[in-house]
């Protein structure tokens, strides 16, 4: 059977050829239709309605009242529900456990309590569609560069566990667009309830910073084919993205013609049909953006094409390669992981899968050390990825600069290793009149304690006989705040290191509300392990 008599095969061949013509695998823009299809999660309005019906005792009226009052605008409905839910959450015994876990973030505004319980409700409604197991299996095999989504649920994190998740508009804006395998959740995530964009005030704040996100999006449009999935062209999120793209276009900088065969829009068909591809467009302010419209009832053939795209290395391997390159530029000794040769010494370069080029080696090594950031030093305390022969340069060139910008930075490890630490913890040299370094001998465990909730934290420190009992009793969020309130003789360093390593991906590798007390705990570990305690 030739392709002309097999429309599905012809569709797959054409789509693969179009996507393969780009230098990079496609970037997915994923909307609510994906969560509805694969997880049976209701629409936005459906979630709000279900939440009200599931929590009738919290609201004075049925959902229809709020919907009619707010002209069926989900943002306004959510704002109204959040305001009414606030007092009930703080007073009801039903939410005592939630208050214990989230009281600090919930106390910041009137809407967070609602977001906390809505996030839980979203995850309870998530149920994988048993009729689509084959499609779901294919999704995880897709060869893609990254994902941007407005969905709240964690379906995509589960499907792509190797991807680095950036939650919220701020993390998406400041993430390195060259990073491999990024998942941008620009409207927040249920795993971080306070990040959800759900009310009118949330959306207004989102729009205030939208021009920064536009710059990020323009970069993605310029570098990757974009596949929109789970959206309608009339979706406000899509209209905003495309209109912003148009507003950024400059005939001298970014020709519209460059978008030809780079914007793919999947349009779901309610009735069974063969998948098809047709040229289309989107028009705004008399500017026409070319689109490739894909019509499909199911997405099996689309995922099969994405799974069949060429990629020489997996996301995991590419991330490991990034890490190896980082190790290379921060050490002057071979690690056994990387072969370093001049280009003239490579006999069969066409047979190599990966070639990484650098400039002058000695200059590169110095730049690698000087370029270390606060996060690199914090990570080194836990995982030890920096080489000891570089510690003198860290003491002389890195610490003075980094500590000037960040108060809580670990430094005792490097001072001790370079014999720059006196018995009283003062430094022999290299203080550079830095406030923290010049007062190293006055630092105590009290310096690592958070200021908020001191009475409660002091009680927790007195209640628990060991660090281990504290870690069993408290969530990580509360533990990072309470640990410095333990007497140092109660803190087992092995247990502390293990706890901090286990929570690095949540509080250290990315920024959130509890990163600051988490960093203080890493500095506390550095202090307890490497400072002198007489």
- What the chain holds in terms of domains, given with CATH numbers, is 3-32+132-307 (3.40.50), 44-125 (no CATH), 317-360 (no CATH), 372-534 (no CATH)
CA–CA gap between residue 399 and residue 370 (Å, rounded): 9
| 3-state secondary structure labels for all residues of 166-204 | EEHHHHHHHCCCCCCCEEEECCCECCEHHHCCCCHHHHH
**Is there a contact between 390 and 330 (Cβ–Cβ < 8 Å)?**
yes
In this prediction, residue 307 carries a pLDDT of: 92
Query: At 242, which helix (H) or strand (E)?
Result: helix 236-248
- Cα 230 to its chain centre, rounded Å, is 21
Q: Which of 464, 265, 300 is CA-nearest to residue 479?
A: 464
What is the chain's Cα-based Rg? 27
pLDDT by residue, tens only, the chain of 534 residues: 455 578 999 999 999 999 988 888 999 999 999 999 999 999 999 999 999 999 999 999 999 999 999 999 999 999 999 999 999 999 999 999 999 999 999 998 999 999 999 999 999 999 988 889 889 989 989 999 999 999 999 999 999 988 889 998 888 766 655 567 889 999 999 999 999 999 999 999 998 888 777 777 877 887 889 999 999 888 888 888 887 777 766 544 456 767 778 899 999 999 999 999 999 988 877 778 889 999 999 999 999 999 999 875 666 666 666 666 665 555 555 454 444 444 444 444 454 455 555 444 444 444 456 678 889 999 999 999 888 888 998 999 889 888 876 778 999 999 999 999 999 999 999 888 777 888 899 999 999 998 888 889 999 999 999 999 999 999 999 999 999 999 999 999 999 999 999 999 889 988 777 888 999 999 999 999 999 997
Q: Which residues of 331-369 are buried (b: 16+ CB within 10 A; e: fewer)?
A: bbeeeeeeeeeeeeeeeeeeeeeeeeeeeeeeeebeebb
């Amino acid at each position: 059977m030739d392709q002309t008599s097999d429309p599905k095969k012809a569709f797959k061949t054409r789509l693969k050829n179009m996507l393969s013509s780009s230098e990079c695998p496609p970037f997915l823009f994923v909307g609510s239709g994906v969560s509805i299809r694969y997880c049976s999660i209701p629409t936005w309005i459906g979630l709000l309605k279900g939440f009200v019906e599931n929590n009738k005792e919290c609201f004075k009226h049925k959902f229809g009242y709020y919907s009619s009052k707010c002209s069926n605008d989900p943002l306004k409905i959510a704002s109204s529900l959040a305001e009414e839910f606030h007092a009930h959450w703080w007073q009801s015994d039903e939410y005592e456990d939630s208050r214990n876990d989230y009281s600090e973030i919930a106390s910041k505004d009137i809407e967070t309590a609602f977001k906390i319980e809505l996030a839980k409700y979203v995850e309870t409604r998530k149920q994988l569609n048993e009729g689509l197991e084959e499609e779901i299996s294919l999704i995880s095999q897709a060869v893609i560069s990254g994902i941007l989504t407005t969905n709240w649920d964690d379906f995509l994190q589960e499907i792509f566990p190797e991807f680095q998740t950036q939650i919220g508009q701020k993390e998406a804006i400041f993430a390195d667009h060259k990073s491999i395998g990024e998942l941008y959740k620009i409207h927040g995530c249920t795993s971080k309830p306070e990040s959800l964009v759900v009310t009118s005030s949330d959306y207004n704040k989102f729009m205030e910073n939208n021009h920064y996100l536009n710059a990020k999006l323009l970069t993605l449009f310029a570098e990757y084919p974009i596949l929109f999935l789970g959206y309608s062209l009339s979706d406000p999120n899509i209209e905003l993205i495309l209109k912003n793209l148009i507003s950024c276009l400059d005939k001298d900088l970014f020709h519209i013609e460059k978008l030809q065969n780079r914007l793919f829009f999947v349009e779901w068909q309610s009735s069974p049909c063969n998948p098809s591809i047709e040229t289309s467009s989107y028009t705004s302010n008399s500017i026409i953006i070319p689109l490739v419209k894909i019509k499909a009832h199911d997405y099996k053939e689309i995922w099969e094409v994405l799974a069949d795209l060429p990629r020489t290395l997996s996301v995991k391997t590419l991330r490991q390669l990034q890490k190896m390159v980082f190790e290379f530029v921060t050490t002057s000794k071979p690690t056994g992981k990387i072969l370093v040769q001049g280009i003239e010494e490579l006999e069969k370069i066409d047979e190599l899968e990966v070639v990484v080029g650098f400039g002058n080696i000695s200059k590169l090594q110095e730049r690698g050390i000087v370029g270390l950031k606060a996060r690199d030093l914090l990570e080194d305390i836990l995982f030890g990825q920096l080489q000891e022969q570089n510690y003198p340069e860290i003491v002389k060139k890195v610490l003075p600069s980094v500590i000037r910008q960040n108060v809580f930075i670990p430094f005792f490890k490097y001072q001790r290793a370079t014999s720059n630490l006196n018995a009283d913890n003062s430094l022999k040299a290299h203080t550079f009149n830095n406030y923290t370094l010049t007062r190293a001998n006055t630092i105590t465990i009290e310096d690592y304690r958070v200021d908020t909730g001191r009475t409660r934290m002091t009680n927790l420190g007195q209640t628990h006989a060991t660090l281990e009992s504290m870690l069993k009793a408290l969530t990580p969020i509360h533990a990072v705040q309470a640990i410095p309130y333990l007497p140092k003789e109660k803190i087992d360093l092995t247990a502390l290191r293990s706890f901090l390593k286990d929570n690095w991906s949540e509080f250290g590798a990315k920024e959130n509300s509890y990163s600051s007390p988490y960093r203080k705990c890493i500095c506390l570990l550095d202090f307890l392990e490497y400072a002198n305690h007489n």
